[in-house]
Amino acid sequence: MRFVTSHWIFSALLAAITIIVPVLNLAVPEGSALHIPTYAVSLFGKYLAFALLALAVDLIWGYCGILSLGHGAFFALGGYAMGMYLMRQIGDRGVYGNAELPDFMVFLNWQELPWYWYGFDNFFFAMAMVMLVPGLLAFIFGWFAFRSRVSGVYLSIITQAMTFALMLAFFRNDMGFGGNNGLTDFKELLGFDLRSQGMRAALFIASGGALLAGFLICRVIVTSKLGKILIGIRDAESRTRFLGYRVEHYKVFVFTVSAVMAGIAGALYVPQVGIINPGEFAPANSIEIVVWVALGGRGTLIGAIMGAVLVNMAKSYFTAAFPEIWLFALGGLFIAVTLFLPRGILGGISGSLNMLSARSRS
Amino acid sequence: MISRRNALNTLAAAALAAGVGIGAVPAKAAEDTIKVGVLHSLSGTMAISETTLKDSVLMMIDNLNKEGGLLGKKVEAVVVDPASNWPLFAEKARELIQVNKVDVVFGCWTSVSRKSVLPVFEELNGMLFYPVQYEGEESSRNVFYTGAAPNQQAIPAVEYLMSEDGGGAKRFVLLGTDYVYPRTTNKILRAFLHTKGIADADIMEEYTPFGHSDWQTIVANVKKFASQGIKTAVVSTINGDANVPFYKELGNQGIKAEDIPVVAFSVGEEELAGLDTTPLVGHLGAWNYFMSVDAPENDTFIKAWHAFIKDEKRVTNDPMEATYIGFKMWTQAVKQAGTTDVDAVRQAMYGQKVKNLTGGMAVMNANHHLSKPVLIGEIQEDGQFDVVWQTEGEVVGDAWSDFIPESAALTADWTYPWVCGNCKKPAFTN
Amino acid sequence: MLRRLLLPLLLLFASPAFADQTAELLEGLKAKSYAAKIAVVEKLAASGDARVVAPLTAMLNGRLHIRKSDGLIVVLEKKDGKRRFLNALTGEPLGPAKSRSSKKIRVNNRLRGVLRGALGSLTLFSTDPAQRLNAAQSMFKSAGADSLPALAKAYLNETNDGVREALARTLAAARLRHGTDEEKLAAAHILADYPDRGVRDLLAKTAQTAKGDLLVAVKQADASIEQRLAFFDILQNLFQGLSLGSVLLLAAIGLAITFGVMGVINMAHGEMVMLGAYTTHVVQVVMQQYYPGAITQSLLLSIPAAFLIAGLFGVFLERSVIRFLYGRPLETLLATWGLSLMLQQFVRSIFGPTNREVIAPSWMSGAIEITGGLVLTNNRICIIIFAVLVFLVLTLLIRYTDFGLRMRAVTQNRAMADAVGIRSSWVDALTFGLGSGVAGLAGVALSQIDNVSPNLGQGYIIDSFLVVVFGGVGNLWGTLVGALSLGMANKFLEPYAGAVLGKILILVLVILFIQKRPRGLFALKGRAAEA
């Protein structure tokens, strides 16, 4: 019972933040104590995108036992799809004034737009791609891997190999995605200036909304019968299989859903930070996502969200406050949490709450 | 301020919301200091190069304060760590300008980090000094480029290799890490070599991933390519980390500089410091500065650096000189303008002169690039470069290369009547 | 008889004038332009005065200076940290040298080539075979028409086989350039037996101007060399693959123990390698302090030192962090990731972010040239041998020692091992220490080919995991086969696909392979596999 209420409280809170923060930014005058600067809105919007990504990882890892060390790849692919749309929006306002080709293609002597860039002028096509590309990759990858019963660390390492291979591929300038520089210098989204305060608030609302939707969808999945089977797979895969469930189908399904969520997170992330480049594919990034989830509490959706937000806040704060030694603080935090809060921050809190309530009951 | 935090806290008891608070709390600016932002990676892959530049800026701020500061105020450094993470560069740039309210930023090394922060500086009208050699093809109103443009490094170096003194090379291997600086530089070089009558068959272009550590195949290929009876030279735009294993392989496979000289644009004293250079004597570097240059300004600078860093063995390099020139120019421009206001300082920057550490004068041009001398040096046993050739005077940095058709037509000039970084005609006409 | 008497007399008489002439010529080296210096060097070499060897050698090494006080050309000698000037021609000491009290006579690549050639012709008849060999080799590119008789004479008089071989090649090269038509033709045929890149270069150059019979002969020689070089290329590729494979093996084998045997997802493995590399650096710095020049010894000393330091650190780590996480392998990922961040920053704070130098002993630099087409670099040969040794010792240790037995017992069935009285917690600590120590050994090897920087470990961690998983977790032989096959595959793909695409292909191949064999190359069978 308590669990259900906390989930509604959290949703309400998230919805409230999604609305109130932009209001405080736009409606409250700048001098006021209640005003939230645009800078903070963007920054927090980024955290929300990361939170959605953490949610996606928690869905497969926390509830189905699939540890993906390559989820950054789906995030980055979604980001690239969005970036490509934003690139097309620049039109002839690039430095070379070429309406047909993005700047990086102009100076690398490309004569025409490669076929895979077609359609990205259209917002809805691009949004479809944001979900379709990561989803399809996850489906194909999962289909093969889960059918062959690749599991455990083997799966983790090949997902890592996947994101590493994609990183190397996107680094190549011949791929037509801007190489190491990636896609940047975006101007507009749907005709609105990306730099305007209103646009930033809108992106914040979109991120908050997407996170809320993602949270609710995950809730539905994990509390349904499907979710029970997923947990069964997580805890005893062979037994679930022997009970007659087609384990690989469930795994492929949840893996694909998770990848689509990651893709959407990437699409929300890119316009808020203004750049997407192959660095997002780096295996270290994917490991970091897992760290957020573990820190917040694996297998608790709220924990994953909190983990992502807290670690990134800590990072933003540490890199400015202790630029020379912040890695000690961050690394130390990871070790301390694993040692002293083995179920993550939220797991730790709810665990002690449970213990208290159990004690009071007895 | 406190009330804002309270308001937020009451608004959301959950930890989730506290995040807005962190971003929103600006470090309280003391009104009587001038703030200088330092945006160099102190961790991650680029820390190896960028940390030195952070220290250089700190040293110059230190010295400036000892001389009584600027405009009667103390100068204060605001150091952040963008951790070699490109989106984080943009975030930190925004934080420096909006939250810390810095007057100027010294920072960035890689092209992608510059591209990442560029929209932020343009949006918030900040001022960035970028101290590293780069691929050109850019001129922003908010950035001053104090490193070399391709025409101040790559082209003179290749001209030297083709000269009699340089060995008269007629066949070239263009070797680089696969990112925009090598790609663009090599594109410019290829076009340049074509104008000198060198055919595509005599140019080999090869790219490697970042941090490439196994050079056996490529070095063997270079040897193969070089044994066709035509004097061959290698032009290397290999980036940072990959250089040490590359040079080790080169030395071990016995490629002598007399046979196949390698000229590098990203290898300076700092990179050689981790290397036994005995087998590399004679390979070349092209820069606007070498530590070995015998000039009084240089001696003073090196002494100051050693005193600041408390290590007699630390070397100096070209991006340090670029940082030095940029910082000096900025202080002069601030003095001249009498304010740190970005628009006023920018106007005062044009035509600003600072003595190069190697002699001569560096001048800031209206295209936001410097006029600097170009030096070609050969690597010596002690890890230093010996200058074997240098330009007669200063070379004007060219934002838009003449060898790329699309960019040859563009002009960068931020003074009246142009006031534009990439235009075919002036913004204002009489 | 008369001539025999006269000659020394003549020399005696001529000698002062001779000396003056040489000294006068030497003054010409003060010229600014390299062309002028080259002319002077050529004249000096032609003078036949044996004393010019000293200043020319000094010049080649950047030791010939102009003293600022009186403009005298001197040789700067650096010995045991002391600097002094020597008279350029006579070698007579001229007192200590202060820094910046002299100006170096600059040398560039072109001049260096001329100097090498000149010194070659001057030392062609040296009593030291090594010097003669050097002379023969350095004259290969530069020998002019006037040195033909000297070369022929040297070749006929030569008794040392190696030098004779080199002289034959140089003589043929000189004849191909400057000889009579018959000599040229004969030279082309001789050169066909020297399958190396330098000869190909020369033949290609000759082919640009040659006509008639000579052109045919040159083309034939070129083709025969080409054919043999193509064969060598395959051998070279094999060697490169073997070498990359052994680097991967070294990097991965420690992980095969901590991750493969113990099941700890050890993200700090790369940093253990880095610790080993920094230990090598520190040992070298300390040794240089007390025993300057003992580079070989310090490298050998770093092997146990790196093993101990990384190993002890591993034990400490296991006792303080990892032991609380057994049975929760994924959480070891989190903790060791945090640890790897801290270690990187720790090293960065202590040693600074820049590369540290590790000097290679002379036997590890350079290469063995089987022929010019097949070059085996010494450091890579050493690393291959080292990797094989480490692997052997490790397998023997696990197979035959008491500790190995306990280790296998604990990993196979902990409860049973406890029951028969094995202190499994200590075995855990030692096993983790062993894995870390081996990673430290890898660091010693990698310090010879890669950067010693805080990022060193990061560059190898992904490859290491890939190798272990590809080979099959928990199996050292799998790691060996995995490392070698990935190394070979990479090196055979690289010439066709390029470095980047080659690497991508390897990753895709591994992913596909795992689909086929979901538990790696050498899968554990039975119950352990399901755990």
Q: How many beta-carbon pairs below 8 A join chains A and C? A: 119
Going by C-beta distance under 8 Å and a sequence separation of 6 or more, which residues neighbour residue A352? none
Whole-number pLDDT of residue C524? 65
- SS3 of B287, please? strand
pLDDT at A2 over 60: no
Going by C-beta distance under 8 Å and a sequence separation of 6 or more, which residues neighbour residue A121? A85, A88, A89
From CA C457, how far away is CA C416, in angstroms rounded? Answer: 37
Name the percent of chain A in helix, strand, coil, to the closest 5: 75, 0, 20
| Bridge partners, residue B234, by sequence | B173, B262
Going by C-beta distance under 8 Å and a sequence separation of 6 or more, which residues neighbour residue C382? C364, C448
pLDDT at B18 over 80: no
Whole-number pLDDT of residue B17? 40
Whole-number pLDDT of residue C200? 83
From CA A82, how far away is CA C244, in angstroms rounded? Answer: 39
Distance from CA of A100 to the nearest CA of C (A): 28
From CA C151, how far away is CA C139, in angstroms rounded? Answer: 9
Whole-number pLDDT of residue B28? 45
The closest CB to that of B209, out of C208, C449, C500, belongs to C500
From CA C359, how far away is CA C381, in angstroms rounded? Answer: 17
- Here the tokens at position C229 are 């070089």
pLDDT at B22 over 50: no
Q: Does B254 touch chain C (CB under 8 A)?
A: yes
Cα radius of gyration rounded to whole Å, chain A: 21
Between helix A71-90 and helix A152-171 the angle, nearest 10°, is 20
From CA C109, how far away is CA B388, in angstroms rounded? Answer: 9
Whole-number pLDDT of residue C19? 55
Please identify which residue in the block is written with the tokens 């036949």. Answer: C48
The closest CB to that of B213, out of C34, C110, C450, belongs to C450
For residue B412, report the phi and psi dihedrals to the nearest 5 degrees.
Answer: -115, 120
Please identify which residue in the block is written with the tokens 């189905």. Answer: A64
Q: Provide, rounded to the nearest whole percent, the portion of chain C with pLDDT above 70.
A: 94
Going by C-beta distance under 8 Å and a sequence separation of 6 or more, which residues neighbour residue A170? A76, A80, A177, A179, A182, A277, A278, A281
Out of A125-129, C356-360, C485-489, pick the least confident. C356-360
Q: How many helices (H) and strands (E) does chain B have?
A: 14, 18
What DSSP string describes B167-207?
T---EEEEEEESSHHHHHHHHHHHHHHHHTT--GGGEEEEE
From CA C330, how far away is CA A290, in angstroms rounded? Answer: 10
Instruction: Provide the chain C residues 496-515 that lie in CB contact (below 8 A) with chain B.
Output: 498-500, 503
Q: Does C82 touch chain B (CB under 8 A)?
A: no
Closest-approach residue (CA) in chain A for C332: A338
Residues in chain B: 430
Q: Provide, rounded to the nearest whole percent, the portion of chain A with pLDDT above 90.
A: 45
For residue A102, report the phi and psi dihedrals to the nearest 5 degrees.
Answer: -65, 155
Contacts of C267 in chain A (CB under 8 A): 287
Q: Name all chains with 3 or more CB-CB pairs below 8 Å to chain A.
A: B, C
> Dihedral (C-alpha) C237, C238, C240, C245: value to the nearest 10 degrees?
140
CB contact under 8 A, C452 and B274: yes
The closest CB to that of C519, out of A154, A325, A330, belongs to A154
Largest CA distance in chain C: 104
From CA C228, how far away is CA C46, in angstroms rounded? Answer: 39
pLDDT at B162 over 60: yes
CB count within 10 Å of CB C137 equals 17
**Which ipTM score applies to this complex?**
0.89
Contacts of A67 in chain C (CB under 8 A): 330
Degrees to nearest 5, angle at CA B53 with B48 and B56 = 135
If pLDDT is split at 50, 70 and 90, which confidence band does C154 have?
A: confident
More confidently predicted of C520 and A124? A124
Predicted confidence (pLDDT) per residue in B31-86, tens digit: 689 999 999 999 888 888 899 999 999 999 999 999 999 999 999 999 999 988 89
Whole-number pLDDT of residue A203? 93
pLDDT at C27 over 90: no
Going by C-beta distance under 8 Å and a sequence separation of 6 or more, which residues neighbour residue B364? B144, B329, B349, B350, B351, B352, B353, B370
From CA B354, how far away is CA B297, in angstroms rounded? Answer: 11
AA letter at A86:
L
From CA B203, how far away is CA B226, in angstroms rounded? Answer: 11
Q: Name all chains with 3 or more CB-CB pairs below 8 Å to chain C.
A: A, B
Contacts of C34 in chain B (CB under 8 A): 165, 388
Going by C-beta distance under 8 Å and a sequence separation of 6 or more, which residues neighbour residue A302? A6, A7, A10, A296, A346
Closest-approach residue (CA) in chain A for B78: A320
Kindly state the average pLDDT of the residues C316-320. Answer: 92
C-alpha atoms less than 13 angstroms from C-alpha of A223 in its C-beta half-sphere: 11
CB contact under 8 A, B378 and C109: yes
Q: Taken in order C206, C207, C213, C217, is the CA torsion positive or negative?
A: positive
Q: Does C266 touch chain A (CB under 8 A)?
A: no
Contacts of A105 in chain B (CB under 8 A): none
List residues of A whose CB lies inside 8 A of any C CB.
Answer: 67, 144-145, 148-151, 153-154, 156-158, 160-162, 164-165, 168-169, 171-172, 238, 283-284, 287, 290-291, 294-295, 324-325, 327-328, 330-335, 337-339, 342
- Domains of chain A, by residue range, sit at 2-361
Quote the DSSP letter at residue B355.
E
From CA B57, how far away is CA B409, in angstroms rounded? Answer: 36
Closest-approach residue (CA) in chain B for C487: B214
Predicted confidence (pLDDT) per residue in C28-46, tens digit: 888 888 888 888 888 888 8
If pLDDT is split at 50, 70 and 90, which confidence band does C323 have?
A: confident
- SS3 of A360, please? helix
Distances (CA, A) of C430 to B210, B288, C166, C440, C465: 36, 54, 55, 15, 21
Going by C-beta distance under 8 Å and a sequence separation of 6 or more, which residues neighbour residue C137? C120, C166, C170
Q: Provide, rounded to the nearest whole percent, the portion of chain C with pLDDT above 90.
A: 27
Whole-number pLDDT of residue C2? 47
Going by C-beta distance under 8 Å and a sequence separation of 6 or more, which residues neighbour residue B52? B270, B317, B319, B320, C353, C354
- SS3 of A255, please? helix
pLDDT at B196 over 90: yes
More confidently predicted of C236 and C330? C236
The closest CB to that of B81, out of A16, A44, A319, belongs to A319
- Here the tokens at position C379 are 């450091």
- Measured in whole angstroms, how far is the alpha carbon of residue A191 from the centre of its chain? 25
Contacts of B19 in chain A (CB under 8 A): 43-44, 47, 309, 313
Is the CB of residue B372 less than 8 Å from the CB of residue B155?
Answer: no
If pLDDT is split at 50, 70 and 90, which confidence band does C413 have?
A: confident
Distance from CA of A216 to the nearest CA of B (A): 17
Instruction: Provide the chain C residues 149-208 that lie in CB contact (below 8 A) with chain B.
Output: 197-198, 200-208
Q: Taken in order A312, A313, A317, A318, is the CA torsion positive or negative?
A: negative
Q: Provide, rounded to the nearest whole percent, the portion of chain B with pLDDT above 70.
A: 93
Out of C143-147, C230-234, C283-287, C317-321, pick the least confident. C143-147
Distance from CA of B243 to the nearest CA of A (A): 18
Q: How many beta-carbon pairs below 8 A join chains A and B? A: 161
Q: Provide, rounded to the nearest whole percent, the portion of chain B with pLDDT above 90.
A: 55
Contacts of B237 in chain A (CB under 8 A): none
